[in-house]
Chains A and B, each alone.
Chain A
Amino acid sequence: MSDTQPISYVRDTMLGQQEPPATQRGVVKWLRENLFSNWLNSILTLAALVAIYLILTSVGPWLLNSIWDAESLRECRDILDGTPGACFAVITDRWHQLLFGFYPPEHYWRPVLALVLLLIALAPILFAELPRKMLYFSAVFPFIGYHLLWGGSVWFPISVFLGFVAGYIAFRALAKVSALVSVIGAVAATLVWWFFIAGPFDAAMYSVAPIGLEFVRSESFGGFLISLVIGVTGISLSLPLGILLALGRQSDMLFVKTVCVVFIEFIRGVPLITLLFTASLLLNYFLPPGTNFDLILRVIIMVTLFAAAYMAEVIRGGLAALPKGQYEAADALGLDYWKAQRLIIMPQALKISIPGIVNTFISLFKDTTLVVFIGLLDPLGLSNAIRADTAWTGIYWELFIFIGALFFIFCFSMSRYSMYLERKLKTDHR
């Protein structure tokens, strides 16, 4: 420091708050940082603008000139008279089929009510803030949902439900003996109820009190109804099954381990469509003649098994990512295997696996469209059926856009939810 400069300094006027320079604030700053930060970025921005312009000018008029009200494709073309334009009249005309298939129109309220109840049942599972008592409703929803959709004797879902009750009673009664005995007892009680008591109970109760909604055959199901029934059931069953398979694969018990490995590798090695054909054709050969085994149910089983095998591998990845110390700490505190899994291991492994799990869910949901190949009328199947009508032959885009948009809504919500969940469960503060 030079001696000529005085060291002491006192500020006499205080400066007021000032705006940052024009290039460093607001829109200009954002543009500079995000779109034109360097020459490569600028070129890409311009290219993107050109692409967006081209897409808008070609698709825009087609969408803007959409016809929503017409009886047939021909009528649409007459109205448009040569100008490009979409003919969404097909959706106005046939939306009910795309959504419900050939479900009897006077009963449309049943699937709609089932969907609303489904959302209510899902809410407490998806959002932990909601009161835990709502989970009781979630537990009985499958039976309510079944009855709403298929109808028939109300005693049938009740008797199936009572099978679980019987299992629970057996579990509680035997819990004092030992954990293993109580689980075996619970499974045995449930199976005994289902196979020997449920049928007669249903018949007896129905003859006394014949209540129930009108029966709707599985063949009438179609459209998004079928996608949702298969997708939602498959998703909710494949997660627990996948967890069990992943644990089984890590088990010390050779038999359990072998069964799980063989199952997972077999299912993963076979295309889903093969499994679906097996469900629709081959099972008829193996099942005793005359058994009427619902096609939708068979498809649900196959789709569930398929997704569960993938799920198991995704979860195994999560398990492998956990440090050994977590297992040791759980052991050292005296937690038994199932408690350690439930309280320590699974919450962490599942959290790690959320992206993979949701991936599997989404692909399962989209794979439901494959059932078109075994003759079930999912939305794609129905689009073929609609085109078979002379009024709508030759219409493709409009149907696919509608179907695509609906699938997108479901898949995108799943993806968003998983991101929300990941953020919420983030406790490691890295």
Chain B
Amino acid sequence: MSENAAAERNIDTSKMQVSDELAIQINGMNKWYGSFHVLRDINMSVYAGERIVICGPSGSGKSTLIRCINRLEEHQAGQIIVDGTELTGDLKNIDKVRSEVGMVFQHFNLFPHLTILENCTLAPIWVRKIPKREAEETAMHFLEKVKIPEQANKYPGQLSGGQQQRVAIARSLCMKPRIMLFDEPTSALDPEMIKEVLDTMISLAEEGMTMLCVTHEMGFAQAVANRVIFMDQGQIVEQNEPKEFFNNPQSDRTKLFLSQILGH
């Protein structure tokens, strides 16, 4: 993260510490959709406490990459190890990884037939087997954290986009995940709602959560990320700390991409 950008936004960086414990390790990972080679030889290590922003042009495989990390998509070659568990066809491992890794989607994907509170308590009750009362307390705690406790008994359809996305974040947090994945969490939102969601994400970062965010919010990247990864054509083209990445990009593709998204 760049100190200035963080200071400008009043971000408390004291707990944002990267440990030397590996959270995610990806070795020589490849993925195909049919004969289309979407992800090519991906290698990356994510340490606990890192805040990584992944960016790149549309279709470059960003979503596919983070969806592979919790096995919403299957990879065909290479290794993905999450929190010490390797993702293979073994369903036990997959469930274990999924309950450790939270995911926030572009279109929120809240469950429309359940209230906000039920959305948040469902997985803790059924996956973690936590008693209902306790799950509700946890859920209220996280709903307060994303600043919408008063909506607990409404249905998702009654909330604004930004509120829904904050509920989606709270829902993931209720599983007490060690890693959070965000796939363009703000790109379906109006500008004034983007801020409320980004603020929620920033406060998560301040608590030292390990985060991987696919996003085009470069302000967020500069202020919060400790590493920016640029992808193109299914490959990691460049990665660096934000200051270097934005001020001094090395690859021509990165330069072109940055000029396009920062240009206007």
Could you list which residues of chain A lie within 8 angstroms of chain B, going by C-beta atoms? 323, 325-326, 328-329, 331-336, 339, 343-344, 347-348, 351, 425, 427-430
Contact = CB atoms under 8 A, between A and B. Distances in A.
A427 B105 contact: no
A347 B175 contact: no
B105 A325 contact: yes
Contacts of B172: 332-333
B126 to A, nearest CB: 5
Interface in B22-58: none
Nearest to B92: A178
B171 interface: yes
A266 to B, nearest CB: 32
The 3 A-B pairs of least Cβ separation, nearest first, read A334-B99, A329-B109, A325-B109
Interface string B102-129: 1101010111110000000011001100
Given A325-B107, A328-B105, A427-B155, A333 B112 contact: no
Which one of A335, A427, A429 has the greatest number of beta carbons of chain B within 10 Å?
A: A427
B157 A333 contact: no
A332 B95 contact: no
A334 B175 contact: yes
A161 to B, nearest CB: 29
Interface centre among B71, B111, B175 (most CB of A within 10 A): B111
Contacts of A325: 105, 107, 109
A335 B105 contact: no
Interface of B: 70-72, 91, 95, 98-99, 101-103, 105, 107, 109-113, 122-123, 126-127, 155, 157-158, 171-172, 175
Contacts of A427: 112-113, 155, 157
Contacts, number: 70
Interface of A is mostly: helix
Contacts of A326: 109, 111
A329 B123 CA distance: 10
Nearest to B101: A332
A343 B126 contact: yes
Given A332-B101, A333-B127, 19 more contacts: A325-B105, A325-B107, A328-B105, A328-B109, A329-B103, A329-B110, A332-B98, A333-B98, A333-B122, A333-B123, A333-B175, A334-B98, A335-B123, A336-B91, A343-B122, A347-B113, A427-B113, A428-B157, A429-B157
Nearest to B171: A333
Contacts of B98: 331-334
Contacts of A430: 157
Given A325-B109, A427-B112, A335 B155 contact: no
Contact of A335 (B70, B71, B126): B126
A332 B70 contact: yes
Contacts of A425: 113
Contacts of B155: 427-429
Given A331-B72, A334-B95, A343-B122, A348 B112 contact: yes
Contact of B111 (A329, A332, A334, A336): A329
9 contacts: A326-B109, A331-B70, A333-B99, A333-B122, A333-B175, A334-B95, A335-B127, A427-B112, A428-B155
Nearest to A344: B111
Contact of A336 (B95, B113, B122, B158): B95
A331 to B, nearest CB: 6
Nearest to A430: B157
Contacts of B157: 427-430
Choose among A328, A332, A336, A425 the residue with the greatest number of B CB atoms under 10 Å from its CB: A332
B109 A348 contact: no
Contacts of B71: 331
A332 B72 contact: yes
A339 B105 contact: no
A427 B105 CA distance: 21
Nearest to A329: B109
B77 to A, nearest CB: 21
A430 B71 CA distance: 33
Contacts of A333: 98-99, 122-123, 127, 171-172, 175
A325 B103 CA distance: 12
From B109, B110, B157, residue with most partner A Cβ within 10 Å = B109
A328 B63 CA distance: 13
B5 to A, nearest CB: 30
Nearest to B126: A339
A329 B183 CA distance: 12
Nearest to A350: B113
Contacts of B123: 333-335
Nearest to A340: B126
Nearest to A332: B103
Contacts of B175: 333-334
Contacts of A429: 155, 157-158
Contact of A329 (B99, B105, B126, B127): B105
A353 to B, nearest CB: 13
Contacts of B122: 333, 335, 343-344
A335 B91 CA distance: 11
Nearest to B71: A331
A329 B108 CA distance: 9
Given A427-B157, A429-B157, A348 B113 contact: yes
A427 B91 CA distance: 33
A347 B118 CA distance: 14
Contact of A351 (B102, B113, B171): B113
A385 B89 CA distance: 65
A351 B172 CA distance: 26
Nearest to B123: A333
A429 B126 CA distance: 27
A339 B112 CA distance: 17
B200 to A, nearest CB: 18
Nearest to A351: B113
B164 to A, nearest CB: 12
A351 B114 CA distance: 13
B100 to A, nearest CB: 8
Contacts of B91: 336
Contacts of B126: 335, 339, 343
